[in-house]
Amino acid sequence: MTKHIFIVGSKGIPAKYGGFETFVDQLTERKKNNEIQYHVACLSDRKSEYIHNGARCFEVKVPRIGSARAVLYDVLSLRECIRYIKKNKLYNSTVYILACRIGPFFYVFKRKLSKMGVQVLVNPDGHEWKRGKWNALIKRYWKLSERLMVKHADLLVCDSKGIEQYIQQDYASYKPNTIFIAYGADITKSTLEDCDEKLINWIERFQVWPNEYYLIIGRFVPENNYELMITEFMKSSSNKDLIIITGVETNPFYQELLEKTNFTQDKRIKFVGTVYDQQLLKKIRELAYGYLHGHEVGGTNPSLLEALASTKLNLLYDVVFNREVGEDGAVYFTKEQGSLAKLIDTADQYSHTMISQLEQAAKHRITMAYAWESIVDKYERIFIDEELSEFEREQHRNWKQSRTVSMNEHHV
């Protein structure tokens, strides 16, 4: 019997950007089990349907109403899922909601779906309520929304062990049913050669030379610690450039950052805009001397996985989410003044052997824990109600026990 999986919360596929969009693209493209049929909600200004990767993609028309558009999008998507399931009597279904945006409305939909025999899974994503771009009122909404979705979900699929631990501790009274399935990473090398015209044009345009730059890639938001990384890089003695790939157009944070750091006076620091060509972006990662990752709002960040899979040397902000992913394949800095500047100066002097060891450890970590093939396999077993292997369950139990002991020791 076909198992119908309805995915709500990504902007849709084919993926143009974003972690959830890439996840859904990979999940549908790499599908192995022919018993599964995916139905993917896609944010749009119109209403239509099309097939991509064998998935039925249904566009949901949502008015442009600012930050509330994402909430309305999820609500309208769920309404459409219920309508379609009823119309086609697809009661052997699962709805998988990505992120906790609709908590105040969730129970109404959950009750309807439960009466239809439909299971509801939720990916709690990261700490959305901590993001610096939100005012106090919106942060309170996000926290409330998260709490209500955790309370009523049949299963919470966490793509970070740190997020799973947080859910289990902060919402213990709800006895949440959780499981950890990581986000995936593409572990293949770029298809571009060193002499490719795209790469040469990019290098010449920005006067960037292979192995002579540190790299930052990520959304241009305060919680990704751009101010910290730029300020510390300016303090360093490095002769290398700092290449920043991000969109800053009409972003008020850019002007604020410029006023605080005066980074335009440092010729090493180069904002180079966005790069949408994924093979070029991967090649830029491969040719970097090192990658700086300042994200502090968990959980698992796709750009970190991509960096560990491609870049030789990775310098990560020391929070539980980043250590969980990087382990001994990276080096770490804190917010303490001088921490990153000192690490950059030290990293500049690393031997080829040291860098090679870190690179091999990082790639091994990604291959063993974050390969898309393995991630998709685990999701499919969840969707068709198959248990994970006893070995995987045992690994999961051992991790929980070790984290509990560690937390207890920390509080003693």
| pTM, rounded to two decimals | 0.84
For the stretch 120-177, pLDDT in tens is: 999 998 766 667 667 788 889 999 999 999 999 999 999 988 899 999 999 999 999 9
Instruction: Give 57-64's long-range contacts (Cβ < 8 A, gap of 24+).
Output: 57/12, 57/13, 58/84, 59/12
Following DSSP, what letter does each residue of 253-288 receive, concatenated?
Answer: HHHHHHHHH-GGG-TTEEE------HHHHHHHHHH-
For the stretch 224-257, pLDDT in tens is: 999 999 999 999 999 999 999 998 877 888 888 9
Which pLDDT score, from 0 to 100, does residue 402 have? Answer: 45
Following DSSP, what letter does each residue of 163-212 receive, concatenated?
Answer: HHHHHHHHTGGG---EEE-PPPB--SPPS--TT-HHHHHHHHHHT--TTS
pLDDT confidence bin for 368, thresholds 50/70/90: very high
The rounded distance, in Å, linking the Cα atoms of 36 and 50 is 17
Which pLDDT score, from 0 to 100, does residue 298 have? Answer: 67
For the stretch 4-43, pLDDT in tens is: 999 999 999 998 777 899 999 999 999 999 999 999 999 9
Residue 405 has pLDDT above 80, yes or no: no
* Of the candidate ranges 68-72, 301-305, 367-371, 392-396, the one whose mean pLDDT is the lowest: 392-396
Domain covering 3-184+374-405 assigned CATH 3.40.50.2000 in the classification: yes
Residue 77 has pLDDT above 70, yes or no: yes
Which amino acid is present at 175? K
Averaged pLDDT for residues 321-329: 94
Beta-carbon contacts of residue 325 (< 8 Å; ≥ 6 apart): 300, 301, 304, 305, 308, 365, 370
Domain ranges in the chain with CATH number 3.40.50.2000: 3-184+374-405, 197-369
Residue 412 has pLDDT above 60, yes or no: no
DSSP-derived 3-state class of residue 390: helix
Residue 299 has pLDDT above 60, yes or no: yes
CATH of the domain spanning 197-369: 3.40.50.2000
Residue 215 has pLDDT above 70, yes or no: yes
Contact 71, 101 (CB under 8 A): yes
- Which residue shows structure tokens 């944070």? 253
CA 46 to mean position of chain CA atoms: 27
Strand 36-44, strand 119-123: pairing:
unpaired
Residue whose C-alpha is closest to residue 373's, from 191, 185, 190? 185
DSSP-derived 3-state class of residue 141: helix
Which pLDDT score, from 0 to 100, does residue 326 have? Answer: 95
Residue 205 has pLDDT above 70, yes or no: yes
The rounded distance, in Å, linking the Cα atoms of 35 and 304 is 33
